[in-house]
Structure 1
C-alpha cells in the first residue's frame, strides 16, 4: 500500500488541500493535488495513468468508458455525493473499478435555492448593477407573503425549501410522480396534480432527480400553462426543463424570470442566452459548493479510501 498513488482533481476553487486534513492517508499512499489537466481524453489519460485512486467532484470531469479503459492502474473512483452523472459506473464496474461516494451537507442546495428565489423575486441583480453603475432605483420587486410556491418534487431539498416558504407566509403546493398525500401532509404542504401545479404557482421550484421520465418534464406546454409573469427556479438538473422552451418563454415575456444554477450543458457556453437575458439570474452550478459540504465530501473521501484499502468499501455507487 505504500506505493498507492492518489490523485485529487476537479478542485476548481483550489481548496481541497486545506479544507480537510489528508494526513490519515499517509499510511496507505501518497496524495497529489492536480490542477493542470485538460478535458482532452488522451491527455487526461496520460496524466492520470499512474494513479490507483482518483478523487473527483460531481459532474465535472467526465469518466466515460473510453477514459476508464485508458487507465489500467485505476482501482477506485471517489466522488463527492452519491450521484455523479459524469461517471460511467457500469463501465467502471465492468473494468473492476470500485466507485464510492459520500454523504452531503443537506442545507447547501436548499439555501442556494432560496437565495436565487428571493433575489430573482426582488430583482436584486438589476438593482445592484444600477447602483454599481452610478444609478439608483430602476424597478419594483415582488412579494412572497401570500403568494403560491409550487414545488416540483418534495424530497429532502424540496421539503427544506417548503419550510423556508412557510416561514415567509407563502402557500406551498407540490407534485411529483411518486408524491403521496401522506408525504405532503408530513411536510405540511398541499398535494396537487401536475397541471394545477403549473397553473397555480407564482414561483415554481424544481427538485427532482434527473431520469428518463423527468427529462424535459417542464416542457413548452407546461411553461405555457403557468401564470404570466410567474418565476421559475431550477437548482436540480438542467435537462428537467426544456431549455429552448424556457428561453422562448423568457424572451417573449410570458415568464417573469428564471433563477438557474443548472443547465443542459455545463459549463454554460460563452454565447448562451442565459448569460445575457435580463430576466435570468444564473449561477455556475454552485448549489453544492459550500464550506460545510466540501468538508463532508473530502472528509468522507478520505474515509472511503481507508475503508477500500482495508478491503471494506463504504458507500458504493
Structure 2
C-alpha cells in the first residue's frame, strides 16, 4: 500500500456509510464529508463552492455535481473523481482525460435497487393507484386494479438493470419484449426475451420500462409519436434518465387518456428548469407514481455503491487501476512526463 499520508478524500454525497468511511481510513485516507444544507445536493453547488471544498483533495467521491474542464484545471492535486452511481453525463470525460486524472463509476452497486424500484412502480400503478387518497377522503369503495401477472412488459435497454428487471418478471410469468440497438441473441434465448423493434414494443406492451443510457441517440426517445403508439391501457415506467422522455408530451398523453399511467423516478426538470411546471403538473395527476430520483437510494444499494467508489479511489491513489468496467476516463498516460 502507498504509505504517503495524508491522502485526502472529499465526499459530496449524503448517506456515506460508516463502513465505507472506515475502509478508506484503513487504507490511509483522511475522509471529509461536505456539509450540505437541508435539501441541497452537490449538483446545486457552484464552481466557487466546489473549489473551496476540493482545494486540498486528492480524491473526490461525487454525486451529481458538474465536473467541467474549467473546474479540473484549478484542481492540480486532485487525482480521481469517483461517481457514486453509474450515469456520468455531468462528467466531462474528455476534460478528465486531458487533465491526467481518472474518473470512475460504481458499476454493479445499485442495479438490484433500481430493478426493484421499477417493479415496485409497476405494482403500485396496477394495484394501488388512487386507493389511499380515496380512503383518506372517506371513500372505501373497491377500486379495481390490474395484474402484472402474465402481462406483456417491454424493456427498452437491456443492460445490467434491464436484465435485473427481466429476472424479477419471471416470477410474474410475464411475456418480455426488448428493444436494444445491439441485441444479445444468446441472452434473449436463455432469458426468454423476444427482441423487437421499438414500434412493436410500444404497440404490444402493457408496461414499458426504460433502462437505456442517455445519449444523442436516446434523447427524447419517448416523444409524442412514441406515446401515441402505446395502448391506452399501457403504463410507462422511467427509472433511467429524465431526458429519455419528452415530459410535456407525456403530460398531454396522460391528460388525453392516450396511456393509462406513468411511474417516474426521473424528470427533464432535473437538468432543464423550464420543465419545472410540467413536472409539478405530472406530480398532481392521480395516475402518476413519482419518486425524487431515488430508485438507487436504498440503505443496501448506497452501501454497495459507496464501497465501490471508495475501492476505485484507493486503487488510483495506490497507483493501480480500478476494474475496467468502472473506469470511464484514465488520463494518467495522457500528460507528457518531465525530462
Give the equivalent residue in structure 2 for 1:312.
Answer: 320
Question: In 2, Cα distance between the equivalents of 1:138 and 1:304?
Answer: 52
What does 1:51-90 align with in structure 2 at a 5 Å threshold?
51-57=57-63, 60-90=64-94
Please report how far the alpha carbon of residue 308 of structure 1 lies from its aligned counterpart in structure 2 after TM superposition.
Answer: 1.7
Q: How does 1:231-270 map to 2 (within 5 A)?
A: 231-266=235-270
Q: Secondary structure at the match of 1:115?
A: helix
Residues 126, 165 of structure 1: alpha-carbon distance in 2 compared, 3 angstrom cutoff:
same
5+ residue gaps, structure 2, are 37-41, 329-339
What residue number does 1:45 align with? 51
- Consecutive unaligned residues in structure 1, runs of 5 or more: none
Residue 171 to residue 265, structure 1, CA distance change in 2 (3 Å): same
Aligned residue in 1 for 2:337: none
Map residues 87-166 of structure 1 onto 2, 5 A cutoff: 87-105=91-109, 106-122=111-127, 124-137=128-141, 139-166=143-170
Report the CA distance shift for 1:282/1:19 in structure 2 as closer, same or farther (over 3 A): farther
Counterpart contact for 1:174–1:189, Cα < 8 Å: yes
Residue pair 1:100, 1:313 contacting (<8 A) in 2 also: no
Give the corresponding residue for 1:33: 33
Report the secondary structure of 1:54's partner residue. Answer: strand
User: How far has the Cα of 1:234 moved from its partner?
Assistant: 1.0
Aligned positions, number: 311
Inter-partner Cα distance in structure 2 for 1:27 and 1:166: 42
What is the CA-CA distance between 1:24 and the residue it aligns to?
Answer: 4.4
Please list the CA deviations of residues 47-103 of structure 1 after superposition, one character each: whole Å capped at 9, or x if unmatched: 32221211113xx22222232223233221112244422211211221222212333
Residues 238 and 265 of structure 2 are in contact (CA less than 8 Å); yes or no, is this contact kept in structure 1? yes
Q: Which has the higher contact order (CA 8 A, sep 6+)?
A: 2
User: Quick check: 210-219 or 108-117, which moved more?
Assistant: 210-219
8 A contact 2:236–2:261 mirrored in 1: yes
Give CA-to-partner distance per residue, 1:257-277, whole Å, 9 cap, x none: 100112223279664222222
Q: CA deviation at 1:182?
A: 3.5
Paired residues of 2:205 and 2:230 also in contact (CA < 8 A): yes
75-84 or 204-213: bigger deviation: 75-84
Within the candidate set 198, 201, 204, 1:200 is matched to 204
TM-score, normalising length from structure 1?
0.89
User: In structure 2, do the counterparts of structure 1 residues 82 and 238 end up closer, same or farther at CA, with 3 Å as the change threshold?
Assistant: closer
Q: 1:313 to 1:199 in 2, by over 3 A?
A: same
**1:185 aligned partner:** 189
Query: Does residue 4 of structure 1 match 2:15?
Result: no
Aligned to 2:333: none
How many Å separate the matches in 1 of 2:123 and 2:10?
Answer: 39
Q: Measure the CA separation in 2 of the matches of 1:268 and 1:140.
A: 37
My pick for the range that moved more, 234-243 or 178-187, is 178-187
Report whether the alignment pairs 1:20 with 2:24: no
Could you tell me whether the CA contact under 8 Å between 2:239 and 2:266 is conserved in 1?
yes
Q: 1:113 to 1:103 in 2, by over 3 A?
A: same
Distance 1:221 1:292 in 2: 39
Contact 1:22 1:302 (C-alpha < 8 Å) held by counterparts: no
Report the alpha carbon displacement of residue 217 of structure 1 after superposing the two structures with TM. 1.7
Cα drift, residue 41 of structure 1: 1.7
The TM-score, its normalising length taken from structure 2, stands at 0.83
1:201: Cα distance to partner? 0.9
2:129–2:287 contact (8 Å) kept in structure 1: no
